[in-house]
């Protein structure tokens, strides 16, 4: 069922001038997922050419544990649970999360507002054999998980 976009408005005052920042966050349908893949995801991945990981956190060594998405796959249910253990506030938050399959195709994406929880369950298609999750922090950039395969999830059973 398609849903209407949500919009958050934040106003900051500087002297006599007001700056209006409008941030649109979409509850994604297939059409908006294609838009995210086509525009938002590549721009995030090109941002300064850096994608941080647990193994390569760059200058953010102490930030990896709260910024790298955690992925748990349920092989039998073909479900992925994605969690980013990051506190959310207007000043510091995860503002975008997406998931790629084994072919690099974006299979899930979500804009977040500071009041949202960065935790998701997504149904995987029969063709999906592995996923990699990404999270973007408004202060510490783009982070990605290790690739998690359904085969490794089956091995845990």
The 3-state DSSP class for residue 95 equals strand
> What is the model's pLDDT at position 24?
31
φ, ψ (nearest 5 deg) of residue 9 = -120, 130
SS3 80: strand
| Lowest pLDDT segment from 19-33, 71-85, 87-101, 138-152 | 19-33
Domains and CATH numbers, the chain: 49-155 (2.60.40.730)
pTM for this predicted structure: 0.71
d(CA 88, CA 72): 21
pLDDT value at 43 more than 70: no
Least confidently predicted of 30-34, 49-53, 67-71, 95-99: 30-34
Higher pLDDT: 10 or 95? It is: 95
Q: How many CB atoms lie within 10 A of CB 123?
A: 11
Percent of the chain scored above 90 by pLDDT?
61
Query: Is pLDDT larger for residue 39 or for residue 135?
Result: 135
89-122: pLDDT as tens digits:
999 999 999 999 999 999 999 999 999 999 999 9
């Amino acid at each position: 069922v398609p849903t209407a976009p949500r919009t958050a408005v934040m106003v900051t005052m500087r002297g006599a001038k007001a700056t209006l920042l409008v941030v649109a966050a979409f509850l994604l349908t297939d059409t908006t997922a294609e838009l995210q893949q086509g525009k938002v995801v590549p721009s995030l991945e090109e941002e300064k050419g850096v994608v941080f990981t647990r193994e390569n956190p760059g200058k953010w060594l102490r930030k990896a544990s709260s910024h790298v998405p955690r992925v748990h796959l349920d092989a039998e249910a073909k479900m992925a649970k994605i969690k980013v253990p990051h506190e959310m506030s207007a000043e510091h938050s995860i503002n975008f999360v997406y998931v790629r399959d084994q072919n690099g195709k974006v299979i899930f994406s979500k804009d977040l507002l500071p009041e949202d929880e960065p935790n998701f369950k997504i149904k995987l298609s029969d063709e999906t054999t592995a996923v990699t999750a990404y999270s973007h922090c408004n202060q510490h950039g783009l982070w990605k998980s290790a690739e998690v395969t359904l085969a490794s999830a089956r091995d845990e059973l």
